[in-house]
Amino acid sequence: MTSVAASFIAVALLAAPVAPLWAQGYPSKPIKLVVPFAPGGFTDVVARILGQKLSTSMGQPFVIENKAGAGSIIGTDFVAKAAPDGYTLVMVSTTHVISPWIYKSMPYDPIKNFTVVTKLVDSPYVLLVNPKVQARNVQEFIALAKAAPDSIRYASSGNGSSQHLMGGLFVSMTGAKLQHVPYKGSGAAATDLVAGVVESSFAGVPNALAQVPQGRLKALAVTTAKRIPQLPDVPTLQEAGVPGYEASVWLALLAPAGTPQDIVARLNVEIAKVMNLPETKKALYDAGVEVSLSTPEAMSAYMVQELDRWGKVVKDTGIRIE
């Protein structure tokens, strides 16, 4: 074979489409989907809906494994250090780009140590209060908190969580003197809120929908700029007299850095397919979230923007965890 012929063959091989790994049998075993929060919370609910659909679509079980702690760092770090083979994934929330600004040290880089698969959903949070709180609206709630500093506690799913920071942002913007009480998950926080152990919380819509219609909790406002269809009578914080307050939580699916792009592409396609099924959309709507998909590239860029945005919020609110 001449050197010229060899060169043509080499070029042809480089130009030819590479047979994707998934066409060769991915997935061939169960996939572990790590939720870095306790069971029963917002992220866990979405993970179980998605995992069930993907198990059917991809022909292998998606096993949900809750690894809660340290504002989602423990479970996320587990995935950062896992083999980049597509069999260990993590569902992260906005907390993923908040933690680096709050904790003194991090065991991973939130951008460099992960391969983005897709954005999944967006959702507001809801300012909830126990019915014993004598406030019919946000302004009365703020007045109570100012009149008796630190007598009103707000529960979150943990130090450095989205709930923590949304409460901190509210305190910073209103001057309300609220005491933060971190829990090991939003489910435990909601349980104590209903029981009256704590007075308030910035909680996910699923927790609100489970308690507000029955009168076990009162919804004072939502954190987004627009009202949500699941709670149409609940005003936004801006409408309730906190101008400029706007925040939401997103969820995304990540894999360890170095995960092959053909696996990422397969997952992205399958997720888009199952997330757009009418029954999936209804289940997510009932859970209070809106499907919001993206390409890996678009979500990667968005995460960088969100890292900068929440860094400014952390600096403005002064929240810090050693």
Of 258, 295, 265, which is closest to residue 20 (Cα–Cα)? 265
pLDDT at residue 143 greater than cutoff 80: yes
Residues 128, 294: contact at Cβ < 8 Å? no
Q: How crowded is residue 68: how many other Cβ atoms within 10 Å of its Cβ?
A: 21
pLDDT digits (tens, 9 = 90+) for 121-141: 998 999 999 999 999 999 999
Q: Which residue has the tokens 């952390």?
A: 314
Mean pLDDT of 84-112: 95
Of 205, 199, 214, 212, which is closest to residue 141 (Cα–Cα)? 199
Q: What's the pLDDT score for residue 104?
A: 87
Q: What's the pLDDT score for residue 25?
A: 86
Of 103-112, 180-189, 285-294, which one has max mean pLDDT? Answer: 103-112
Residues 22, 55: contact at Cβ < 8 Å? no
Mean pLDDT of 30-35: 98
pLDDT at residue 22 greater than cutoff 80: no
pLDDT at residue 11 greater than cutoff 50: no
Q: What's the pLDDT score for residue 231?
A: 94
- In terms of pLDDT, which residue wins out, 14 or 296? 296
Please give the DSSP secondary-structure letter assigned to residue 318.
T
Q: State the Cα–Cα distance between residues 320 and 154, nearest whole angstrom.
A: 17
Mean pLDDT of 175-201: 94
pLDDT at residue 198 greater than cutoff 50: yes
Mean pLDDT of 264-290: 93
State the pLDDT confidence band at 146, using cuts at 50, 70 and 90: very high
Domains and CATH numbers, the chain: 25-122+248-317 (3.40.190.150), 125-222 (3.40.190.10)
Q: What's the pLDDT score for residue 252?
A: 98
Least confident of 151-160, 163-172, 257-266, 313-322: 313-322
State the pLDDT confidence band at 7, using cuts at 50, 70 and 90: very low
Q: State the Cα–Cα distance between residues 24 and 137, nearest whole angstrom.
A: 58
Q: What's the pLDDT score for residue 24?
A: 62
pLDDT at residue 93 greater than cutoff 90: yes
Q: State the Cα–Cα distance between residues 7 and 228, nearest whole angstrom.
A: 61
Of 61, 229, 200, 224, which is closest to residue 140 (Cα–Cα)? 200
